[in-house]
Amino acid sequence: MKVLKGIGVFKGIAFGKLHMFEKKTCTIEKREISNAENELKRYKSANDIAVRELGDLYNKALKDVGEENAMIFQIHQMMLEDMDLVCFIENLIETQMVNAEYAVSEAARKFSMMFAAMDDEYMKQRSSDVKDVCQRLICALISSRSESNAKSKLSYIIGADDLTPSETIQMDKKTVKGFVTMQGSHNSHTAILARTMNIPAVVGLGGQLKEKYEGCEIIIDGFSGTVYINPDVTTVRRLKKKKELCDHQNELLKELKGKKNITIDGKTVDICANVGSPADLDGVVQNDAGGIGLFRSEFLYLRRDDYPSEEEQFMAYKNAAVKMNGKRVIIRTMDIGADKKADYFDLPKESNPAMGYRAIRICLDRPEIFKTQLRAIYRASAFGKISVMFPMIISREEVVEAKRIVRQVCDELDRDNIPYSREVEIGVMIETPAAALISDELAKEVDFFSIGTNDLTQYSLAIDRQNNKISSMYNPHHKSILRMIKMVADSAHKNGIWVGICGELAADEALTETFLSMGIDELSMSAPFILGIRKKVLEINVDEVKEKIIKDLSF
């Protein structure tokens, strides 16, 4: 197996045999003609055909990829109709009595050389546009004499030095599964077209892509920009899985985007996304999330040498708020510690870090770190709908103290005349059995709960799921966990606040009925799962199943 690295321009996976693309070139012979008038007519009608073809391509591109990208085909049309080009060709036919094909090929040579000789990189590349349009014209001339050859019917991944926009947009999506090119960048014409046409592609491979790979089985991973030549069994299996998920996702997307999360009997639930870094935001919007139910702020703290500044954090939170355009973004204050360590925090070595100095415990102990983050969050609240959430809570006192610090921060912002929203909701994560058992008290202090089922399971069952010897015993469906979730939901609703789930269980289809029966208001999960759960919700009738589910869980 050979692994090539390039630039992925469309997030998709494609399998197929590599076929190195040969430019459709026709050998041009120079012939003497006897009747210039006839030859001029031939040229004229072929030119009309070529211009019309480009018009069709323009219309297709207009629909597929928008006006801005489609305009290249209008430019190509203008080139064919350009008076300099037309005069040159007509003149050659009339004065030298040569066939139209030859005259056009001479024009292509002359005008492409003119561009190639220019001292501007962009203009140099236009010489390929000239060759492209003249080639089209020559093909039109030739096919007006003979039938065009039939197209291949097999599935291929096209490999090429580079592809012209017209070659790209004409690819038959039934046979061409993807393409890989040596040239090209993320924003080249071709890359943009591929992206908008949903053809997985990796460009900019340079010399890594070799002629000798012709006919090899290859896989394109457009997510990572990787191309596998003759992939091994493990790679095939891994990427098949990735492709299935991706295809499934696209199907769901078509079917479910824009729909409400509503059960047969009319119950609704909010389905939101968990976000671990700014890179996840596009997926959140694409998968039609109702908001961000968990914005993990750790990415700001990890893999660096010093604390992130208020400004840096503010920008990150603000971007998320703006991107979500009025939908709720719940920012969880930093959860450093346990398995997420940053050296500059200077955390002590602990024999049991999962139960150690982490998250809110650090924040309340070192309020200067906490206040910087809270200031950034509240400042960002002026730009969208932001909520704040504290992790690893075990007592009411912690919540009261955290809220006191929030008030301090707000007072400071008021004093400095810095705008922030007065409607920032404050919530806590319920991820310790302690918090679950006192959820009735906690509910009086906050606006919402979000149940972190991963830690809740680990702490309740006393199972470290990283420990291979016992990980098979890690069972988040354990009755104790479900009972706690129900208890938390009841506490929330009794006190008039809402409750969500942001752990992995939120995306567990086997439990969606259970959660809806408990009246869970929000489920937050990794974005690719959202539409699958929406589909599930649409098939549920809570009235029918609720009684039995609740009875099975009760004491």
For the CB of residue 541, give the shortest distance to another protein in the complex, in Å. 56
332 CB neighbour count, 10 Å cutoff: 25
Q: Which of 385, 457, 470 is nearest to 425 (CA)?
A: 385
Q: In what order do the strands lie in the sheet with 217-221?
A: 2-5, 226-229, 217-221, 13-20, 156-160, 176-181, 201-203, 7-10
- Kindly state the smallest distance separating residue 25's Cβ from another protein, in Å: 22
Task: Say which amino acid occupies 67.
Answer: E
d(CA 280, CA 272): 13
- Is residue 455 within 8 Å of residue 464, measured between CB atoms? no
Which residues, including other chains, have CB under 8 Å from residue 528's CB and lie 6 or more apart? 245, 249, 283, 287
Distance (Å, whole) CA 218 – CA 63: 31
Quick one: which of 496, 488, 498 has its CA closest to 438?
488
Tokens 């409750």 belong to 499
Do residues 382 and 325 touch, judged by C-beta distance below 8 A? Answer: no
Q: Least distance from C-beta 126 to another protein, angstroms?
A: 6
- Tell me whether residue 26 or residue 71 sits nearer to another protein (CB atom): 71
Catalytic residues: 189, 502
| Torsion sign across C-alpha atoms 302, 245, 505, 526 | positive
**CB nearer another protein, residue 103 or residue 281:** 103
Whose Cβ is closer to another protein: residue 123's or residue 418's? 123
Distance CA 382, CA 364 (A): 25
Shortest separation between residue 164's beta carbon and another protein, angstroms: 13
Q: How far is the CB of 78 from another protein (least distance, A)?
A: 5
Q: Which amino acid is at 213?
A: Y
User: 83 vs 462, which CB is nearer to another protein?
Assistant: 83
Note whether 408 and 463 are within 8 A (CB): no
By beta-carbon proximity to another protein, the closer residue of 114 and 545 is 114
Classify the C-alpha dihedral 223-282-303-335 as positive or negative: negative
Cα 64 to Cα 42: distance, rounded to the nearest angstrom: 33
- Least distance between another protein and beta carbon 82 (Å): 5
CB of residue 147 to another protein, shortest distance in Å:
33
| Helix or strand holding residue 362 (H, E) | helix 360-365
Joined tokens for residue 170:
């004409």
Based on CB atoms, which residue is closest to another protein, 87 or 355? 87
Minimum CB distance to another protein, residue 75 (Å):
5
Q: Which is nearer to another protein, 1 or 78 (CB)?
A: 78
- Whether the CB-CB separation of 272 and 292 falls below 8 Å is answered with yes
Task: Number of helices (H) and strands (E) in the chain: give both, helices first.
Answer: 19, 16
Nearer to another protein, 43 or 213 (CB): 43
β partners of residue 372: none
CB closer to another protein, 68 vs 211: 68
Which residues make up the interface to another protein (CB under 8 A)? 71-72, 74-75, 78-79, 82-85, 111, 114-115, 118-120, 122-123, 126, 129
Q: Residue 348 carries which DSSP code?
A: P
Closest to 86 (Cα-Cα) out of 51, 123, 55, 38: 51
How far apart are the C-alpha atoms of 327 and 332, rounded to whole Å?
16
Return d(Cα 501, Cα 293) in angstroms, integer: 8
Q: Which of 252, 270, 431 is nearest to 359 (CA)?
A: 431
Taking the complex as a whole, how short is the minimal distance between the CB of residue 102 and another protein, in angstroms?
A: 20
